[in-house]
Homo-oligomer: A and B are copies of this chain.
């Protein structure tokens, strides 16, 4: 949907009666027209979740004030609520290492205005991808990482992210493991692409593992990063057929296509506020 919406409301809370009516009436009462709703209840856990897209009817209600009001209401109960204003674009940083395919893909989509965000900086522990960032006129920061300097490096990265007003971190084949503290700071705001169909082949060299097991499909998984390696909530997955003729190198080549489309989809969904984490699972609104 390429609607010219003005705000997206996300609501997550224990289910109770009247929630849809409450927010729909609030929006209507404040001069907002609802153009999209996707709401459901997880019957197993009793979790309510809703995404509501609204646009102003021109009666000029101030969205920031509404947001403040809504957030205050949610403070009094156990509701997680987020009103995202379209006029406040999402600032994105891409972390990468040496492999260009995901970086190039994201920057190209960014240039085609597919992603709906502002990619503000590219950070890498190597210099090899600098020309790619420069071609797309995105600042590139080289932050080398080695075991001894890891803490220092992460602190440098945090500075870069603050400076560029980053809201979302995308790990586009970034071959470093972020420390638990760093991950905690960016909870539900780091998206990683793992080059296997998780939970199969977590950890290193997933294509080699896949080749050895003789699977007939290889896949990729985009997920939020949490403390557990390759264990964060899954956002998107896709697979591609392979055969006995494929060497590990062939799997790597085939997998690249899946990695980049899966990662780009996850980033776009996050930016469009289609994602909501409930427990260990990601709700993907339609």
Known: A282-B244, A284-B244. Contact between A57 and B17, CB under 8 A?
Answer: yes
- For window 244-286 of chain A, which residues contact chain B by CB distance below 8 Å? 244-247, 249-250, 253, 256-257, 261, 278, 280-284, 286
Copy tally for this chain in the complex stands at 4
Ordered by A's residue number, 8 sampled pairs between the chains whose C-beta atoms are within 8 Å are A17-B33, A21-B21, A24-B25, A44-B247, A104-B108, A244-B278, A244-B282, A244-B283
Interface size on A, residues (CB 8 A): 73
Report yes or no: B21 in contact with A245, Cβ–Cβ below 8 A: no
The answer to the question of A184 belonging to the interface, with a C-beta cut-off of 8 Å to chain B, is: no
Report yes or no: B36 in contact with A36, Cβ–Cβ below 8 A: no
Report yes or no: B215 in contact with A234, Cβ–Cβ below 8 A: yes
Query: With a CB–CB cut-off of 8 A, which chain B residues contact A257?
Result: 261
Report yes or no: B38 in contact with A280, Cβ–Cβ below 8 A: no
Interface flags, A183-217, vs B, CB<8A=1, else 0? 00000000000000111110000000000111111
The answer to the question of A43 belonging to the interface, with a C-beta cut-off of 8 Å to chain B, is: yes
The answer to the question of A3 belonging to the interface, with a C-beta cut-off of 8 Å to chain B, is: yes
A257 to chain B, nearest CB (A): 6
Query: In the docked arrangement, what's the CA distance between A36 and B19, Å?
Result: 11
Query: With a CB–CB cut-off of 8 A, which chain B residues contact A35?
Result: 40-41, 43
Report yes or no: A112 in contact with B135, Cβ–Cβ below 8 A: no
With both beta carbons as reference points, the residue of chain B lying nearest to A113 in the complex is identified as B253
Known: A199-B200, A257-B261. Contact between A244 and B213, CB under 8 A?
Answer: no
Instruction: Point out residues on A near B: beta carbons under 8 Å.
Output: 1-3, 17-21, 24-25, 27-29, 33-44, 50, 57, 100-101, 104, 108, 111-112, 114, 131, 135, 197-201, 212-217, 219, 233-239, 243-247, 249-250, 253, 256-257, 261, 278, 280-284, 286
Query: In the docked arrangement, what's the CA distance between A246 and B27, Å?
Result: 25
Contact partner of A40 (CB less than 8 A), chosen from B1, B19, B111, B131, is B1
Query: With a CB–CB cut-off of 8 A, which chain B residues contact A286?
Result: 38, 243, 245, 286
Contact partner of A28 (CB less than 8 A), chosen from B18, B39, B282, is B18
Report yes or no: A239 in contact with B236, Cβ–Cβ below 8 A: no
Known: A24-B25, A197-B197, A198-B215. Contact between A244 and B18, CB under 8 A?
Answer: no
Report yes or no: A280 in contact with B213, Cβ–Cβ below 8 A: yes
Query: In the docked arrangement, what's the CA distance between A225 and B187, Å?
Result: 43
Query: With a CB–CB cut-off of 8 A, which chain B residues contact A238?
Result: 217
A250 to chain B, nearest CB (A): 6
